[in-house]
């Protein structure tokens, strides 16, 4: 669906707000809706991989601090996994964007707390070297999970504060090592957040470009549909035009041949229309054409193709129309036009606008072409005109139907 306001918001986002990590509300909502499923799955996969690696650090715990290995095993497996795995399940099932980011950020913070508790629980030599690995937790949140930037900043800041709370009072760790560890940790936080910002900005910019092209494609599609509709529609009457008839006619002919059905055609001409135009002028003549066209359309089946063939001539193509059904259908159209009671003083003082209709029915078969049906209906129209107008003439028929008898009803005249 084409949305001008949305397109403008997208263009604004690509222009003056390109550095921002939040779109206008409607674009932001669409961005989250379009990316949520893929993002949630990516986070779940990243979370599972991170959980495995986090548990593999038990090897390090066993090597560095065998005295507290049992507590490390309990914290990593019995605390971290029961906390993190349900979160991954919820994210996989689908939650709101804000809740998704909050839950994933919480796993980073809890993992930091548990790692610090394991680190502080032992005074074994070199146990403090764990601090240099804490930056990996920040990398998981900022790069592997690729949390939204604001959530990444919050989780990184909280994690750094937690680490400082445990590291600064830890006496077995030399002061020089503390300074180096803290500096390294801060650098990892800053660099990973810079990368996180760049990743999210690139993702959002790419999305805006794609969305812009989709919206523009919607305009192009709308324009193409409009042009296509205009190319097969008569602009004055809004009926199908000759181009559409020439396209549909052979298709309907073949369908009728394949299904063993007959095809009916009416060729209709407004009587004395030149006299009407000469008397009233072409603008009023256009009004007359529109009224006649509307009456024809209203008195035809939904499956019939009503066409303005050219000038004051129309055709009606009918599928599965037997001769017995076609004559009453043509009579409805003839009566409906006559019933408009549009004066035509150009023809005579008491004349009204009427139509003459030539009718033909064929069963498409071997050796027959669609032009044969058109030729027969056209010849029947000529005969209806020759017989006095305002009447129906059926091709290869003994009789015609006339509307100009004394009582104003149907009359039958010999051919």
- Phi and psi at 320, nearest 5°, equal 50, 50
Confidence of residue 364 (pLDDT cuts 50, 70, 90): confident
- Between 173-177, 210-214, 239-243, the lowest mean confidence (pLDDT) is in 210-214
Q: What are the tens digits of pLDDT across the range 37-88? A: 989 999 999 999 999 999 999 998 888 888 889 999 999 999 999 999 999 9
Q: What are the tens digits of pLDDT across the range 388-399? A: 999 999 987 544
Tokens of 171: 């006496």
pLDDT greater than 60 at residue 113: yes
- pLDDT score for 399: 44
Return d(Cα 331, Cα 335) in angstroms, integer: 6
Q: How far is CA 204 from each of CA 96, 284, 389, 391, rounded to the nearest angstrom?
A: 18, 58, 71, 69
Identify which has the larger pLDDT, 35 or 223. Answer: 35
Residues pairing with 318 in the sheet: 264
- Residue 134's nearest CA partner among 58, 188, 81 is 188
Contact status, residue 267 vs residue 380, Cβ threshold 8 Å: yes
Alpha helices, DSSP H only, in 57-174? 58-64, 69-73, 81-93, 97-120, 135-139, 149-167
What global pTM score does this model have? 0.55
């Amino acid at each position: 669906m084409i949305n001008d306001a949305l397109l403008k918001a997208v263009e604004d986002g690509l222009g003056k707000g390109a550095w921002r990590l939040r779109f206008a509300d409607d674009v932001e909502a669409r961005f989250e809706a379009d990316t949520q499923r893929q993002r949630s799955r990516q986070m779940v996969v990243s979370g599972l991989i991170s959980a495995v690696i986090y548990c593999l650090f038990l090897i390090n715990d066993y090597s560095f601090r065998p005295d507290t290995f049992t507590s490390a095993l309990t914290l990593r497996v019995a605390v971290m996994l029961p906390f993190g795995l349900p979160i991954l399940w919820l994210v996989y099932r689908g939650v709101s964007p804000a809740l998704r980011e909050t839950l994933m950020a919480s796993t980073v913070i809890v993992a930091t707390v548990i790692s610090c508790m394991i680190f502080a629980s032992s005074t074994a030599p070199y146990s403090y070297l764990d601090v240099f690995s804490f930056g990996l937790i920040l990398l998981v949140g900022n790069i592997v999970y690729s949390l939204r930037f604001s959530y990444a900043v919050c989780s990184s800041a909280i994690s750094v504060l937690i680490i400082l709370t445990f590291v600064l009072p830890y006496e077995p760790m030399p002061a020089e090592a503390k300074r180096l560890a803290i500096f390294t940790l801060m650098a990892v936080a800053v660099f990973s957040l810079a990368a996180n910002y760049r990743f999210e900005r690139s993702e959002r910019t790419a999305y805006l470009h794609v969305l812009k092209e989709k919206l523009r494609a919607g305009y192009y599609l709308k324009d193409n549909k409009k042009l296509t509709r205009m190319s097969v529609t008569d602009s004055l009457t809004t009926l199908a035009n000759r181009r559409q008839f020439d396209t549909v006619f052979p298709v309907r002919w073949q369908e009728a041949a394949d299904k063993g059905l007959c095809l009916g055609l009416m060729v209709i001409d407004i009587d004395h229309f030149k006299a009407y135009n000469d008397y009233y002028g072409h603008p009023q003549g256009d009004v007359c054409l529109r009224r006649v066209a509307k009456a024809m359309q209203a008195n035809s089946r939904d499956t019939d193709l009503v066409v303005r063939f050219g000038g004051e001539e129309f055709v009606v193509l009918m599928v599965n129309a037997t001769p017995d059904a076609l004559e009453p259908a043509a009579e409805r159209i003839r009566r409906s036009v006559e019933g408009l009671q549009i004066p035509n003083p150009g023809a005579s003082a008491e004349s009204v606008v009427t139509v003459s209709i030539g009718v033909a029915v064929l069963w498409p078969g071997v050796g027959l072409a669609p032009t044969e049906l058109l030729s027969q209906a056209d010849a029947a129209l000529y005969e209806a005109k020759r017989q006095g107008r305002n009447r129906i003439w059926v091709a290869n028929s003994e009789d015609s139907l006339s509307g100009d008898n004394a009582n104003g009803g149907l009359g039958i005249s010999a051919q």
